[in-house]
Amino acid sequence: MVAIGSEERIRAFRPAEFSALTSALTPALRSAAAYIGSCASTSYALVVVHQHGADSMQAAIERAVAPCVGGGFTLGLADPVPLGLRAAREARRQALAAAELAALDPALPRPTRWSALGAYRTLLTTARPSEQVLRPLDEAGPSAPMLLETLETFLDLAGDVQAVARRLNLHRSSLYYRLDRVARLAGVDLADGLVRLELHLALKGRRVRRRTLR
């Protein structure tokens, strides 16, 4: 199952987008051998496809959707499931989670597969980690968003300073300054693996809390 969601931090489709999407999906996809069916709500659309041929459907779905919503959308792909109501519900849950988290976390690959969500899959089914460790950064005033983005990018890229500097378009000395400030404000050692794990889970748990699609 494939879920289609808005890329703009999860918003409902505009009336014109919704009308275009509901009119375009079935005519554009029904000739494909892997297509089973589709439906749309004001916040997302679902496309059900056969496991065999699902990969080839991605491009067709993107072509059908892009003119309707201006290219600002994400695709979330569920794991293959057997036919049945319970399995379909699980596939829907997986696809919606993948599509929405892709909109909430630009570090995720596009399109986003449930199987590629990593720790997010655990965060979606267990108690959320405490955000207490992030509070000193939240209280850093106007620089808080910058410091949180720097920290999350650093953790997403496994501490690869060169890759982080390239992603953030920073000189390495500026990156080191930011990381040092993060460590001092939070009172942590970023070289400690358990500290990194706690911070990373807190950041990703915060994104999970922003989900609205169910």
> Residues 112, 186: one domain?
no
The string of pLDDT tens digits covering residues 91-141 is 999 999 999 999 899 889 888 999 989 889 989 888 778 889 999 999 999
pLDDT of residue 74 exceeding 90, the answer is no
Mark whether 106 and 144 lie in a shared domain: no
Residue at which a domain ends, from 86, 117, 148:
117
State residue 54's pLDDT score.
73
Q: Is residue 87 domain-shared with residue 151, that is, in the same domain? A: no
As for how many domains the chain has, the answer is: 2
- pLDDT for 55 beyond 90: no
Do 101 and 193 share a domain, yes or no?
A: no
Looking up tokens 């999860």 gives 10
Question: Do 138 and 112 have their domain in common?
Answer: no
Most confident of 7-16, 87-96, 182-191: 182-191
Q: For residue 123, tell me if it sits in a domain.
A: no
Q: Which residue among 57, 84, 117 closes a domain?
A: 117
* Mean of the per-residue pLDDT values of the chain: 89
- Asked if residue 95 and residue 188 are part of one domain, the reply reads no
Domain annotation covers residue 193:
yes
The residue type found at 76 is G
In a domain, 59, yes or no: yes
Residues 51 and 152 in one domain: no
Q: Is residue 75 part of a domain?
A: yes
Amino acid 9: pLDDT:
59
For residue 214, tell me if it sits in a domain: no
Mean pLDDT, range 22-28, rounded to an integer: 88
Q: Looking up tokens 């699980």, which residue turns up?
A: 90
Within a domain: residue 125? Answer: no
Domain match, 136 and 184 both? yes
14 and 112 within one domain: yes
The answer to whether residues 76 and 165 belong to one domain is no
Using pLDDT thresholds of 50, 70 and 90, give the confidence band for residue 26.
confident
Q: What is the pLDDT of residues 144-183, one digit of tens each?
A: 999 999 999 999 999 999 999 999 999 999 999 999 999 9
Q: What is the DSSP string of the chain?
A: -EEEEETTTS-PPPHHHHHHHHHHHHHHHTTSTTEEEEEE-SSEEEEEE-STTHHHHHHHHHHHHHHHHTT-EEEEEPPP--SSHHHHHHHHHHHHHHHHHHHH-TTS-SSEEGGG-THHHHHTTSPPPP-GGGHHHHTSGGGHHHHHHHHHHHHHTTT-HHHHHHHHT--HHHHHHHHHHHHHHHT--TT-HHHHHHHHHHHHHHHHHT----
Whether 152 is covered by a domain: the verdict is: yes
Domain that holds residue 102: 2-117
Residue 124 counted as domain residue: no
Domain match, 53 and 96 both: yes
